[in-house]
Structure 1
Amino acid sequence: MKSIATLTMNPTIDASYDVGKVRHTNKMRTDNEHYAPGGGGINVARVFVRLGGNARCYYLSGGATGPALDGLIDLHQLVRTRIPIAGSTRIAADILEHETGKEYRFTPAGPEISEAEWRECLDRVAEADCDVMVMSGSLPPGVPEDFYARATRLLRPRGIEVVLDTSGAALVAGIDAGGLLLVKPSQSELQHYAGRTLDSVGAIGAAAMEIVEAEKARFVTVTMGHEGAVLARAEGPLFLPALKVNAASAVGAGDSFVAAMVHALCRGDGELEAFRRGMAGGSAAVLRAGTDLARAEDIDRLLERVEPL
């Protein structure tokens, strides 16, 4: 089994609460209070370790809330490398309204990162001892848009495979840097990268194949929410429909997809089986309310329902 490290440039303390009804102005009493370490790479590491793998988390942490994030990561028994920053780690809130069953998610932009801080992070990542680096999540203010591209150029000469899951200009720069094992945009993120509307499975597959054929990534998986996902590889694109499940929360579905797929690749499964496990991982995440993410037993159970390839 290959080892992974994850990079989370904009981590969160994920707070989740339940409330009877959301009302403006009035104080609303909540229950089912939970806190978890969050942000793309940290979420990936949480699920990857649940599946039996080894992962080290690289992340930025600071301010009054930084120690709380560090403690939550320790509670989840994750190996961590903290890059200290002056700004406060952000706190995201997930609110479930019982009356309607609707979920409300509030996510701050994150702290301003100085050049000295993001350069220190780049230096630490360049020294990572792992087989695969998963770079996942948004970039906080102050970090250059090509940060993931810079990190990739440092890691690839050392033989470390890179997985990228981000959005916007950071995704564009990261893909264009090339050398990726896997990139996982959503449908809207791939549209942004391609610069055109992608309104069918065929169009999504064609745009994903352009990345593969340009040798910018070996595999591209495009998640399409309740419709399913597309895998692009040298042999051509494939589509899997989404599983029908009773969704309790949308938090961490994409991260759980990445974790399950990367775990399968790291243990030597082919990309087709890894893609199927990614689908099961994403579906398993939405079964759990709040910020719990996918569980191994749910992934194994749901995998039986994923179409064979």
Structure 2
Amino acid sequence: MSIATVTLNPALDITTATEAVRHTHKLRCSEPRFEPGGGGINVARVVHALGGKVTAVFPCGGPMGVTLETLLREAGVPIAPVPIAGATRQSFTVEETSTGLPYRFVLPGPVLGESEIAALVEVLRALPGRPDYIVASGSLPPGCHPRIFRRLADLGKRLVIDTSGLALAACEGVRAYLVKPSLRELEELVGRTLATEMDEAAAARELLERGFAEIVVLSLGERGALLVTADRELRLPAIPVPVANAVGAGDSMVAAITLALARGQSLDEALRYGIAGGAAALLAPGAELVRKEDVERLYAAAGS
């Protein structure tokens, strides 16, 4: 089995801390921490941490791009960066130590030219063997047309999409293998409030009928997740854990689901493994997305 991830708008995540965030003041900050970021890159990091075979494909440019590549290589994550003229974006988080609140500043990222997008598609096409799964995850860079997802659909055996906003809406008719909206994103797609579990299931089935994917996994936060296919529904509760870090929980869930499916596990097992992956991300310290031992322990406990 092989998995490739696509991150069209990767980021170098920079985290620091200050006592209090006050406007117009100079805020003296702690030593910054640098981490590779962006949806598909996070998915690749988690798949790698869980022992899966994965390649992260992403556009990369400028000094931030060099640092991003270096961090991923040091972590042992296989990568296939695509050089671009623009500079890889930064995502900046300031933790306010007096309150424990994080303040996140997300920059837009570089515009990708058509030749750069074509180069990224060719890198995917040239990967050894056709990937069993391609996971396209994260936001689109400025000016990137959402039809990019249609161009990715035929490059692997199965396409998994985790995006939002107009990019997610444009996935109608793509017929990916799996799409993972949040409850808010699903409500936006169907244009109505989903007040009950029956409403949620009906809306997920609407996405199937509109050609978004063969499988819809609706992430419900502390209520767990709902998986819907043409002939079944599966709802599993969340695994209660103390929250040390909420960043990357959704990406970790997608990574664990995809890896379980790539290993030949059933949809039931894959969803349970995905929920364990999301819960493990809440436990992990800042420099890690998940720890394999946490995922396996939570997965085993959820099935007992």
Instruction: Give me the TM-score of the superposition, normalised by structure 2.
Output: 0.92
- Structure 1 stretch 80-89 or stretch 236-245: which is displaced more? 236-245
Alignment-derived partner of residue 144 in structure 2: 143
Match of residue 266, structure 1, among 258, 262, 267 = 262
* SS of aligned partner of 2:87: coil
Contact 1:201–1:239 (CA<8 Å) still a contact in 2? no
Residue 208 of structure 1 pairs with residue 204 of structure 2: yes
Alignment-derived partner of residue 61 in structure 1: 60
Amino acid at match of 1:238: L
Alignment-derived partner of residue 101 in structure 1: 100
* SS of aligned partner of 1:155: coil
Alignment-derived partner of residue 124 in structure 1: 123
- State the Cα RMSD in Å: 1.9
Match of residue 246, structure 1, among 228, 242, 267 = 242
Deviation at 1:291, TM superposition (A): 5.1
Q: Deviations over 1:272-304 (max 9, x none)?
A: 011011111111112234352121111122224
Deviation at 1:155, TM superposition (A): 2.0
Deviation at 1:271, TM superposition (A): 0.5
Alignment-derived partner of residue 174 in structure 2: 177
Contact 1:184–1:220 (CA<8 Å) still a contact in 2? yes
* SS of aligned partner of 1:86: coil
Q: Unaligned 5+ residue runs, structure 1?
A: none
Q: Deviations over 1:230-253 (max 9, x none)?
A: 111233222222222221222111
Q: Deviations over 1:174-213 (max 9, x none)?
A: 24211x2211111111122222222322211111123335
Contact 1:251–1:291 (CA<8 Å) still a contact in 2? no
Deviation at 1:82, TM superposition (A): 1.2
Contact 1:240–1:307 (CA<8 Å) still a contact in 2? no
Amino acid at match of 2:204: A
Distance 1:21 1:68 in 2: 29
Q: Unaligned 5+ residue runs, structure 2?
A: none
Identity of aligned residues (%): 42
Deviation at 1:261, TM superposition (A): 0.9
Distance 2:295 2:137 in 1: 21
Describe how 1:6-45 pairs up with structure 2 within 5 A: 6-31=5-30, 33-45=32-44
Distance 1:24 1:254 in 2: 32
Cα pair distance change 1:9/1:302, threshold 3 Å? same
Deviation at 1:143, TM superposition (A): 1.2
Contact 2:172–2:210 (CA<8 Å) still a contact in 1? no
Distance 1:307 1:202 in 2: 25
Deviation at 1:124, TM superposition (A): 2.4
Amino acid at match of 1:94: T
Amino acid at match of 1:146: R
Amino acid at match of 1:19: T
Cα pair distance change 1:165/1:105, threshold 3 Å? same
Describe how 1:75-90 pairs up with structure 2 within 5 A: 75-90=74-89
Contact 2:89–2:109 (CA<8 Å) still a contact in 1? yes
Contact 2:60–2:88 (CA<8 Å) still a contact in 1? yes
Contact 1:252–1:291 (CA<8 Å) still a contact in 2? no
